[in-house]
A and B are shown apart, each in its own frame.
Chain A
Amino acid sequence: EVQLLESGGGLLQPGGSLRLSCAASGFTFSNYAMSWVRQAPGKGPEWVSAITASGTNTNHADSVRGRFTISRDNSRNTVYLQMNSLKAEDTAVYYCAKGVATTTSYIDWWGQGTLVTVSS
């Protein structure tokens, strides 16, 4: 069975940095695009960042471009989200998500999420 286990969330002050990790298992990780999708309290999901299966191409939402970086290590079956210059509006549950192909389209499996709270 597919498993996506996020870690690294927490409480931090505006301007701070955090790195989220997602350990994947139950599928051939290097064959699938991966994404990070966040959901602020009471809001709909927002696609944050995506990376192709090989790691060659990435995409980021305008709201995080220049501050967040997605990467992956196919030898460790892990995808990362480096978040810098954090703002209060980045507060959300961050989900690791598996795509259905080598490039990003829709999501067929979601992790349980890790909460990131940015507050002074």
Chain B
Amino acid sequence: IVMTQSPATLSVSPGERATLSCRASQSISSDLAWYQQKPGQAPRLLIYGASTRATDIPARFSGSGSGTEFTLTISSLQSEDFAVYYCQQYNKWPRTFGQGTKVEIK
């Protein structure tokens, strides 16, 4: 299953909303996770089951979608949110990641 993320780069001002998209090449139900990765660090789980926040993830992060279309929304960007975000499907093997969306400061 090919995961396609858009846009590749998103320029956003602090305090603004960011909307990231992820599309699956076939239906994956709600078997989708989102991760955040900062430079030099391992990815961190944000969302699983398409919309459930992982432990200790702030409420400004929300996920939605099912089937083939998914969205990660960051309601009010904080300085620590500027990073690369990846989606990953776990409906079928091999588990696959998108190519990432970089959220940068505008």
Q: A44-B86, A110-B44, A112-B42 are in contact. Are A105 and B31 (CB under 8 A)?
A: yes
Q: A104-B90, A106-B33, A108-B54 are in contact. Are A45 and B45 (CB under 8 A)?
A: no
CB of A55 within 8 A of chain B?
Answer: no
Of B60-68, B72-80, B94-102, the segment with at least 4 beta carbons within 8 Å of chain A is B94-102
Decide: A106 and B44 in contact? CB cutoff 8 A.
Answer: no
Decide: B42 and A95 in contact? CB cutoff 8 A.
Answer: yes
**Residues of B within 8 Å of A, CB-based: how many?**
21
For A44, list chain B residues within 8 Å (CB): 86, 97-100
CA distance A61 to B42 in the complex (A): 20
CA distance A95 to B41 in the complex (A): 11
Decide: B94 and A106 in contact? CB cutoff 8 A.
Answer: no
CB of B88 within 8 A of chain A?
Answer: yes
For B98, list chain A residues within 8 Å (CB): 44
- Tell me what chain B mostly uses at the interface: helix, strand, loop, or mixed: loop
Proximity bits, B3-40, A CB within 8 Å = 1, else 0: 00000000000000000000000000001010100000
Decide: A45 and B31 in contact? CB cutoff 8 A.
Answer: no
Decide: B43 and A105 in contact? CB cutoff 8 A.
Answer: no
Decide: B54 and A47 in contact? CB cutoff 8 A.
Answer: no
CB of B70 within 8 A of chain A?
Answer: no
Decide: A59 and B93 in contact? CB cutoff 8 A.
Answer: yes
Proximity bits, A89-113, B CB within 8 Å = 1, else 0: 0000001000010001111111111
Decide: A47 and B42 in contact? CB cutoff 8 A.
Answer: no
Decide: B96 and A47 in contact? CB cutoff 8 A.
Answer: yes
Q: Which of B33, B35, B94 has the most CB of A within 10 A?
A: B94
Decide: A107 and B31 in contact? CB cutoff 8 A.
Answer: no
CB pairs A–B below 8 angstroms (12 shown): A43-B99, A44-B86, A45-B43, A45-B86, A46-B97, A59-B94, A105-B31, A105-B48, A106-B90, A107-B43, A108-B48, A110-B43
